[in-house]
Amino acid sequence: MKIMVAVKRVVDYAVKVRVKPDKSGVETSNVKMSMNPFCEIALEEALRLRESGAAAEVVAVSVGPAPCADTLRTALAMGADRAVHVDAPGPGPSSPSPSPRSSAPSPTPRTPASLSSASRICVESLGLMEFGFKHFVAIDDDCNQTGQMVAGLLKWPQATFASKVILDKEKQEVTVEREVDGGLETLCLDLPAVITTDLRLNQPRYATLPNIMKARSKVIKKVTPQELNVEIKSDLEVVEVTEPPKRKAGVMVSSVDELIDKLKTEARVL
């Protein structure tokens, strides 16, 4: 069985993003980019499944402009066997085009969907929060749609927000614990299935130097959306991107008494 992991290149999660003055989007030039943390977790889980003998091969896939190859290289250094780069032009994080169009999450799920039918992948791990335009669960766009849409397009069962994955090779099924509003929910899915990861699934490994060297000789196959018969068109246009409203500056109090007094008389919340 093969596992496909969709990874996305995003602004590093520790960066405080700045909105461009012309309201066209968020400043991404000269900003540190890295692999979406959820995608790292998805990849780690896939590698563990491979190491436990449940899967034979882990394929990393990224959709976007040229620099996405760097993200795939990172995935290969972590241990993915090979990678596929769906070279989609457009407003990727490093795209030179000044006018960001927005995202249509629907074409992109179709990309992994067509890939997975092409290479008969059994389990997919996707990160958890997905992004409209490039569509992998990502912390920049906070969409949280890709995995579900991929599953819908493939008519495969889905398990989102996974915090525990147990694969049964014999029965061809996977048991997944999900993080839901009320606690933890356990589902059992027939393979093939789509799984999206929660932060609590695992602790991703770091790529070691020898593995980074080895990753240089691994293959990144480049395909275009046209080759996959996917049309990337958008149902959503971004009108503007603005700063969230600023909170008015707060005050520091010096004692609990003062705090309670302020909450009673000024804020009137007690």
Partner 1 sequence: MAPLTALRALRNRSNFPIFSSTASIAWSIRRFISTLVVAEHEGGVVKPSSLSAFAAAEAIAKENSISVLLGGSGETLQKAAAHAASSHPLISEVLVADAEILAHPLAESWAELIHSVQKKGGYSHVMSASTSFGKNVLPRAAALLDVSPITDVIEIREPRVFVRPIYAGNALSTVRYSGQDPCMMTIRSTSFPLLVNSTNTEGRTVPINQVDVSVFSEESLKKSRWLKLTSQDTERPDLGNARVVVTGGRGLKSAENFKLLEKLAEKLGAAVGATRAAVDAGFVPNELQVGQTGKIVAPELYMAFGVSGAIQHLAGMRDSKVIVAINKDADAPIFQVADYGLVADLFDVIPELLEKLPEKK
Q: Which residues ranging from 223 to 252 are in contact with partner 1 (CB under 8 A)?
A: 234-244, 247-248, 250-252
Q: Cβ 225 to partner 1, closest distance in Å?
A: 16
Q: Cβ 111 to partner 1, closest distance in Å?
A: 13
In this structure, what is the dihedral angle of CA atoms 89, 2, 190, 52, given to the nearest 10 degrees?
A: -130
- Cα–Cα distance measured from residue 176 to residue 53, given in angstroms and rounded to the nearest whole number: 18
Judged by CB under 8 A, the residue of 29, 183, 209, 229 near partner 1 is 183
- Cα–Cα distance measured from residue 128 to residue 32, given in angstroms and rounded to the nearest whole number: 21
Conformation bin of residue 3: beta by default, left when phi > 0, alpha when psi is -120 to 50: beta
Q: Does 114 bind partner 1 (CB under 8 A)?
A: no
- Nearest 5 degrees, angle CA 115-CA 132-CA 186? 70
- Cα–Cα distance measured from residue 229 to residue 221, given in angstroms and rounded to the nearest whole number: 17
Nearer Cβ to partner 1, position 17 or 212? Answer: 17
User: Which 156-175 positions form the footprint of partner 1 (CB under 8 A)?
Assistant: 156-161, 163, 175
Q: Does 155 bind partner 1 (CB under 8 A)?
A: yes
Q: Cβ 219 to partner 1, closest distance in Å?
A: 30
Nearer Cβ to partner 1, position 10 or 68? Answer: 10
Judged by CB under 8 A, the residue of 120, 229, 257, 265 near partner 1 is 257
In this structure, what is the dihedral angle of CA atoms 34, 207, 85, 63, given to the nearest 10 degrees?
A: -30
Q: Does 99 bind partner 1 (CB under 8 A)?
A: no
Q: Does 190 bind partner 1 (CB under 8 A)?
A: yes
User: Which 204-223 positions form the footprint of partner 1 (CB under 8 A)?
Assistant: none
- Nearest 5 degrees, angle CA 91-CA 46-CA 41? 55
Q: Does 198 bind partner 1 (CB under 8 A)?
A: yes
Judged by CB under 8 A, the residue of 34, 94, 102, 211 near partner 1 is 102
Nearer Cβ to partner 1, position 95 or 144? Answer: 144
Instruction: Show the 3-state SS of 45-101.
Output: HHHHHHHCCCCCEEEEEEEECCCHHHHHHHHHHHCCCEEEEEECCCCCCCCCCCCCC
Count of residues interacting with partner 1 (CB under 8 A): 85
Q: Cβ 209 to partner 1, closest distance in Å?
A: 28
Q: Cβ 205 to partner 1, closest distance in Å?
A: 17
Judged by CB under 8 A, the residue of 105, 112, 204, 225 near partner 1 is 105
- Nearest 5 degrees, angle CA 211-CA 95-CA 227? 75
